[in-house]
């Protein structure tokens, strides 16, 4: 018999960015540290999480089916569309380090403005990414130790919608051999696991 309380609907969520190497919270309801900056409003499409896997199968003489099935590589991606224009989102979209941006202060009748050149292929902008998916009292927290933007949607400048930033982040190997992606999900019971002999 199913249990409807186990159904998660992401009615709200937040995304946070920090420098690679930042310390993640120790639980799904622990506040994000000062190293993590809120990345702003996300469109109602929410978060799209995907897992791709490359596998190698080894055959054996006289066997009809593969005898070994090896995972060669797993690629995890996280796609969000942000509404706000901030220096960090400009940095990620145009692939230019924030340290290479220039801010000119307001003066007299001139507004403050930011200026930069689009990043070259030699530039790499990587972040630590924190994601919260929220439904009522439940929370699914995803922590990506190191990631980069692997795909970008086209930006549309029109009166019909905000000029959004559609970004797909790909998880990269974490510093120091740590886990590249960690998940924490509240109110999910872990059943007793039988040992390899099935004796409990």
Percent of the chain residues topping a pLDDT of 90 = 74
- CA 56 to CA 3: how far, in whole Å? 37
Residue 179 counted as domain residue = yes
Q: Which CA distances in Å does 149 have to 76, 108, 145, 172?
A: 12, 38, 14, 10
Cβ atoms within 10 Å of 132's Cβ, excluding its own:
21
Q: How many CA atoms lie within 13 A of 192 on its CB side?
A: 5
pLDDT over 80 at 197, yes or no: no
- Quick check: is 107 in a domain? no
Query: What is the structure's pLDDT at 143?
Result: 97
Is 60 part of any domain? Answer: no
Q: Is residue 193 part of a domain?
A: no
In a domain, 119, yes or no: no
Looking at every residue in the chain, the average pLDDT score rounds to 91
195 within some domain: no
pTM of the shown model: 0.87
pLDDT for residue 31 is more than 70: yes
Q: How many domains does the structure of the chain reveal? A: 1
Domain for residue 161, yes or no? yes
Query: What is the per-residue pLDDT for 199?
Result: 52
Domain around 143: 10-55+73-100+124-185
Residue identified by tokens 């992606």 is: 181
The CATH number of the domain holding residue 162 is: 2.30.110
Confidence class for position 198, pLDDT limits 50, 70, 90? low
Domain presence at residue 93: yes
pLDDT at 58: 92
pLDDT band at 120 (very low <50, low <70, confident <90, very high): confident
Q: Are 70 and 55 in contact (CB under 8 A)?
A: yes
């Amino acid at each position: 018999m199913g249990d409807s309380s186990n159904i998660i609907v992401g009615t709200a969520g937040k995304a946070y960015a920090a420098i690679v190497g930042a310390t993640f919270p120790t639980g799904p309801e622990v506040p994000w540290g000062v190293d993590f900056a809120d990345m702003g409003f996300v469109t109602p499409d929410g978060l799209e999480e995907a897992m791709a896997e490359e596998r190698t199968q080894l055959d054996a003489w006289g066997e009809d089916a593969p005898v070994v099935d090896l995972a060669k590589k797993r690629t995890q991606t996280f796609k969000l569309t942000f509404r706000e224009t901030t220096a960090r989102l400009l940095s990620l979209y145009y692939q230019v380090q924030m340290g290479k941006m220039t801010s000119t202060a307001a003066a007299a009748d001139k507004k403050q403005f930011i200026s930069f050149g689009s990043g070259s292929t030699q530039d790499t902008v990587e972040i630590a990414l924190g994601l919260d998916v929220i439904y009522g009292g439940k929370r699914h927290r995803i922590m990506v130790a190191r990631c980069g933007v692997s795909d970008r949607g086209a930006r549309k400048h029109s009166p019909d919608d905000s000029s959004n930033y559609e970004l797909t982040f790909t998880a990269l190997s974490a510093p120091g051999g740590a886990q590249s992606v960690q998940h924490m999900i509240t109110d999910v019971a872990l059943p007793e696991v039988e040992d390899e002999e099935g004796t409990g």
